[in-house]
Amino acid sequence: MSEISRRAFTFAPAVAMAPAASPAPPPPKFAPLTPGIKISMQVNEDVSDEDLSWIKQMGVEYLNVQTGKGRATYENFVAIKTRMESHGLKVWNISNNDNRNIEEITLGLPGRDQKIEWLKQYIRDTAKAGIGYITYAHMANGIWSSERETTRGGAPARAFRLATAKGYWNGKVYEGPLTHGRRYSKEELWDNYTYFIRQIAPVAEEVGVRIGIHPDDPPVPELGGIPRHIFGTFDGYVKALEIANSPAIGVCLCCGTWMEGGKHMGKDVFEAVRAFAKMGKLWKIHFRNVSSPVPNFVETFVDNGYTDMYKLMKTLVEVDFRGNLIADHVPAMAGGRHSGWSYSMGYIRALYHAAQAELKRG
């Protein structure tokens, strides 16, 4: 019952009258996800019609769409969704670089409240456009990388070397021993996260939007004087979800990022999948592989890292994962811009079908 309904009932005058028929209960804000993994392709909003045909030809049914600066509006969300659906594709979420890795929020800097209000409107507009999920990330000084290196066959790929890495996000570069002029404490970051999530979660609950929170990339204990302890370990995630205490707040498990952390994460990626799924909090998967854990790694083709990706796919099928799954950070492959993505998406779909067959699901 809504707060308004409770008040109306409590303070109604005690007069004799025929009982009114009970109104039909509202539909649940967070209906269970439909069975099956929603394998999805990442595209920009200006993706060509030809590329949309290519995506359909690969057997992919879902899209994660990226918008540009100033284009995170309800009207644009509707236009994107309408266009993609006209090609027979479903939009899982629409992302924008302004809606995550917000230093004002993470560090409690001036402008924090304005950023929170903007994000609330983003969530409301997402729901109004008929989309039920967004990804959020809580890094204060970006995703850290070193100069690109190569993986199998000389394919260029993102690399991380602790000694040379810098942070990058939304046009900003973060470097040096103290990216924001001083060292921040873990307690400060927990306080800032609590302030933020307890304002955001009720809005997401009200409109029925799930928010999956991405791990810190890379998940090392500290970068640039800022701890990465909240979304950089399994225990940090558990505490963060307990603070949120909301059906709207869950996990976008970037498996590659989790692998980057190695033993530091507290659970390996298979254990993390099982634990978050058991909590009912596993909503999106970034299905990628890396060469090794920190302090140094190179992103690899999906079949060429240190993790058994078929075992990972079987784990997802075993826990009945019903959310969205994307290829991510795909190394460039010879043969044109479609080659690497075609290889990754085909490999992922083959793993999924093989896992279903072995486990007799689907």
124 phi/psi in degrees, rounded to 5 = -60, -40
Residue 20 lies in a domain: no
* 342 CB-near residues (< 8 Å, 6+ apart): 54, 58
State how many domains the chain has.
Answer: 1
Residue 25 lies in a domain: no
Residue 23 lies in a domain: no
Residue 312 lies in a domain: yes
Residue-level pLDDT at 209? 97
Concatenated DSSP letters for 268-328?
A: -HHHHHHHHHHHT-EEEEEE-EESS-TTEEEEE-TTSSSS-HHHHHHHHHHTT--SEEEE-
Concatenated DSSP letters for 129-163?
A: TT--EEEEE--SS-EEEEEEEEEGGGEEEEEEETT
Residue-level pLDDT at 290? 98
Residues of the chain short of pLDDT 70, as ranges, are 1-28, 362
With contact defined as beta carbons under 8 Å apart, do 231 and 138 qualify? yes
Residue 26 lies in a domain: no
Beta strands in the chain (DSSP E): 38-44, 62-66, 90-95, 133-137, 143-151, 155-161, 166-169, 172-174, 210-214, 222-223, 226-227, 249-254, 282-287, 289-290, 296-300, 324-327
Residue 10 lies in a domain: no
Residue 18 lies in a domain: no
Q: Which helix (H) or strand (E) holds 329?
A: none
CA distance 109 to 97: 18
Residue-level pLDDT at 27? 53
CATH number at residue 269: 3.20.20.150
CA distance 71 to 66: 10
Domain range for 222: 31-359
With contact defined as beta carbons under 8 Å apart, do 192 and 229 qualify? no
Q: Which two tokens stand for residue 297?
A: 């790694």
Bond into 218 cis (ω within 30)? yes
Residue 9 lies in a domain: no
